[in-house]
């Protein structure tokens, strides 16, 4: 379970009832399952793995494998494995980092940029979030930012 916010940080906030806490946890879990199912369907449609879909989604700019792992919420070794497979498919390439000899920049190839655009379009087109109007999507994002920092 995630670490709880310090109630002293927001004196206006009151204690959470056990029932509210349980229901919020249940609803968040169900929503995460829907998001996961959506990512899996997109992956199946595009002949990718779900982690490849997530990696391509996160490769919006040149980043290191460590930065990608942070964005994917996984270990660097897992991101490296995913990158190896994307590289074998000709979707990414590793280039020397300009200031860190130990790091490599991950760069989308032209084919990778096309595949990423397709991934992002499919993820956005039928996302479970589309059930909410844009203003409520933004409100949900803002609430979650407040909870996870």
Instruction: Pick 20-148's CATH classification: 2.10.109.10, 1.25.40.10, 3.20.20.110, 1.10.10.10.
Output: 1.10.10.10
Q: State both tokens at 105.
A: 């920049």
Number of residues that make up the chain:
149
Would you tell me how many other CB atoms lie within 10 Å of the CB of residue 97?
13
Q: Residue 16 pLDDT more than 90?
A: no
**pLDDT tens, residue by residue, 35-47:** 999 999 999 999 9
Burial class (CB in 10 A: 0-12, 13-18, 19+), 118: middle
More confident residue, 69 or 6: 69
pLDDT band at 1 (very low <50, low <70, confident <90, very high): very low
Q: State both tokens at 63.
A: 């980043």
Q: Residue 137 pLDDT more than 70?
A: yes
Q: Residue 31 pLDDT more than 70?
A: yes
End-to-end CA distance of the chain: 15
pLDDT at position 17: 81
pLDDT at position 9: 57
pLDDT at position 108: 97
Q: Residue 2 pLDDT more than 80?
A: no
Indicate the pTM of the whole model. Answer: 0.81
**pLDDT tens, residue by residue, 77-134:** 999 999 999 999 999 999 988 898 888 899 999 999 999 999 999 999 889 998 899 9
Contact between 55 and 72 (Cβ < 8 Å): yes
More confident residue, 147 or 122: 122
Contact between 79 and 86 (Cβ < 8 Å): no
Distance CA 128, CA 131 (A): 6
């Amino acid at each position: 379970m995630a670490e709880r916010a310090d109630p002293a940080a927001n004196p206006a906030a009151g204690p959470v009832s056990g029932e509210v806490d349980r229901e919020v946890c249940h609803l968040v879990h169900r929503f995460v399952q829907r998001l996961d199912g959506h990512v899996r369907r997109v992956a199946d449609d595009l002949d990718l793995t779900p982690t490849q879909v997530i990696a391509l989604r996160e490769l919006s700019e040149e980043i290191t494998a460590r930065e990608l792992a942070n964005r994917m919420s996984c270990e660097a070794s897992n991101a490296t494995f995913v990158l190896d497979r994307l590289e074998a498919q000709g979707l990414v390439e590793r280039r020397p980092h300009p200031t860190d000899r130990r790091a490599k920049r991950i760069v989308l190839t032209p084919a990778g940029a096309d595949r990423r655009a397709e991934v992002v379009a499919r993820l956005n087109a039928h996302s479970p979030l589309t059930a909410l109007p844009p203003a409520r999507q933004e409100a949900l994002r803002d609430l979650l930012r407040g909870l996870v920092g």
